[in-house]
Amino acid sequence: MATAVGSAAPLEASEDLRRGETWSIRWRTGFDRWIGFLLPLLFLVAIVPILDVVYYISSKAVPTLTWGVLTSTGDYQLHDALGVPIESTFLFVLLATVIAVVLGLFGGVATAEFLPERAAGWVRMSANLLAGMPSVIVGYFGYFAFCLYFGWGLSFIAGVFTLSFFMTPYIFRTADLAFSSVPRPIREAAYGSGARPTQYILRIGTPIAFPQILTGVFLAMAIGVGETAPIVLTVQPGLLVPPTLTSPATYLTALIWTGFSQPPSVALTIAFQAAFLIIVVVLVLNIAVRIIAARYRKRLEGLYQ
């Protein structure tokens, strides 16, 4: 009897194990079967509202958007005139991108090539924290730091530095990843041939990492074009293209914010036009970076083989 009971226990355990394996196989098979239908459905759930918003904005903006509206430098508060906001936004993004590229590239090269692993880890964690920080907090930081502490007031230069502070983590993260992904044999071959760190970075590391760095720069520009809080909280609206760094200035996203926060008027029409222009700019930046990066990668084909 003891032998019979002892032999029954392993049989029951093996039977339970077999049932568990059968259930796991059925679950995986069912999941593989239905995931092909579920993913397209989830894609439609995500893309349809986006396309609906784009269509709604385009239907409101395109009928009133003419070449005269885009180039007119009149008072945008009284009639359709986007020339001044477009030029001011271009200056904002250009200067902020220059500052963010300098800071982001230096930081990415430092963490990838020079800093100890522990210090680099702390820097990366800080950059990730800044990248995930809400833009309104960055706007308040810019207001207290640049407008009050440095005494620049609500000015063009305060908005530029605040916007660059918001854009820098994205460029830093891509630059750090780009230089860290350079194959180790290439790095060791360069240093073994007598190259100095600056020679390796400028002549070998940067050409290899350039497509990824360019992607980060264009991504930061697209994010900067669509930001509102860093500008609204640090810049006084102006009716002219800023002649000096301490002058007031306007921004396309600020027109959207003021247009939808006021009763229906000319400002609402301008808000739709500004929103449509931002969508077009972001789309063009994303397409441009893909084309440029793809062409540049062809020049590097065979490098890793």
Tens of pLDDT, residues 151-172? 998 999 999 999 999 999 999 9
Range of the domain at 212: 67-299
What does the pLDDT average to over 207-213? 84
pLDDT of residue 95 exceeding 90, the answer is yes
Residue 6 has pLDDT above 80, yes or no: no
302 pLDDT more than 60: no
- Which pLDDT band holds residue 74 (cuts at 50, 70, 90)? confident
- What percent of the chain stands above pLDDT 90? 15
* 235 falls within a domain: yes
pLDDT, tens digit, 9 for 90 and up, residues 243-264: 888 888 888 888 888 777 766 6
Would you say residue 6 lies in a domain?
no
Higher pLDDT, 107 or 291: 107
Tally the domains of the chain: 1
Q: CB neighbours of 114 closer than 8 A, spacing ≥ 6?
A: 197
What is the model's pLDDT at position 1?
46
Is residue 21 a part of any domain in this protein?
A: no
**What mean pLDDT is reported for the chain?**
82
In a domain, 72, yes or no: yes
Give the best-scoring range by mean pLDDT among 163-167, 187-191, 288-292.
Answer: 163-167
Does 262 fall in a domain?
yes
DSSP 34-53: HHHHHHHHHHHHHHHHHHHH
Of the ranges 4-18, 96-110, 153-167, 219-233, which one carries the lowest mean pLDDT score? 4-18
The whole-number pLDDT of residue 63 equals 86
In a domain, 270, yes or no: yes
**Domain-located, residue 52:** no
Span 207-226, mean pLDDT? 86
> What pLDDT does 30 receive?
65
Cα–Cα nearest to 252, from 269, 268, 273: 273
Which residues, 6+ apart, have CB-to-CB distance to 267 below 8 Å?
A: 77, 255, 258, 259
Spell out the alpha helix ranges (H) of 132-204: 135-142, 156-180, 184-192, 197-200
Give me the CATH number covering residue 146.
Answer: 1.10.3720.10
Give CA–CA dist 138/250, Å, rounded: 18
pTM greater than the 0.85 cutoff: no
Q: Is the pLDDT of residue 232 over 90?
A: no
Which residue would you say has higher pLDDT here, 299 or 180?
Answer: 180
Three-class SS of the chain: CHHHHHHHHHHHHHHHHHHHHHHHHHHHHHHHHHHHHHHHHHHHHHHHHHHHHHHHHHHHHHHHCCHHHHHCCCCCCCCCCCHHHHHHHHHHHHHHHHHHHHHHHHHHHHHHHHCCHHHHHHHHHHHHHHHCCCHHHHHHHHHHHHHHHCCCCCCHHHHHHHHHHHHHHHHHHHHHHHHHCCCHHHHHHHHHCCCCHHHHHHHHHHHHHHHHHHHHHHHHHHHHHCCCHHHHCCCCCCCCCCCCCCCCCCCHHHHHHHHHCCCCCHHHHHHHHHHHHHHHHHHHHHHHHHHHHHHHHHHCCCCCC
Q: Of 63-72, 85-94, 127-136, which has the strongest mean pLDDT? A: 85-94
Of 21-35, 72-86, 218-232, minimum mean pLDDT range:
21-35
The predicted pLDDT at position 237 comes to: 86
Both tokens of residue 302? Answer: 């065979």
Average pLDDT over residues 175-180: 88
User: Residue 15 falls within a domain, yes or no?
Assistant: no
